[in-house]
Copies of this chain bind each other. A is one copy, B any other.
């Protein structure tokens, strides 16, 4: 499943938002999502599975609980895809700032032109 397909679902986006604040157990996530979206525990669990299998989260067991956390790689992939469009709204910013934030470090390119 492609990264963008995973993020296409509002429940999964919300779960990632929750995890952005820090590690959370399946149960904590389920409580919040049930309240906000009104779906069942298996429903939430299946979304967690998608997030796991697509590399958006990690899990570690602690007793009977499973603690989920954001795994940045997949999200970063999305960020990288957006790079090709950044010039459409980043035009006003000086090149240095953009370079720093994008982490490209492509100063070698300067030798081309």
A90 to B79: give the CA distance in the assembly, Å.
Answer: 11
Number of this chain's copies in the assembly equals: 2
In the complex, how many residues of chain A place their beta carbon closer than 8 angstroms to a beta carbon of chain B? 35
Contact of A101 among B2, B16, B70, B98 (CB under 8 A): B98
Question: Within 8 Å CB of A78, what residues of B?
Answer: 78, 82
Contact of A97 among B72, B82, B88, B101 (CB under 8 A): B101
A6 to B: closest C-beta gap in Å: 9
Inter-subunit contact B85/A16 (CB<8 Å): yes
A52 to B: closest C-beta gap in Å: 17
Supposing A4-B4, A8-B4, A8-B5 touch, asked if A72 and B101 sit within 8 A by C-beta, the answer is: no
Answer yes or no: A7 CB below 8 A from chain B CBs: yes
Inter-subunit contact A10/B20 (CB<8 Å): no
Q: Hey, which bits of chain A sit against chain B, CB under 8 A?
A: 2, 4-5, 7-8, 10, 13, 16-17, 20, 70, 72, 75-76, 78-79, 81-82, 84-86, 88-90, 92-94, 96-103
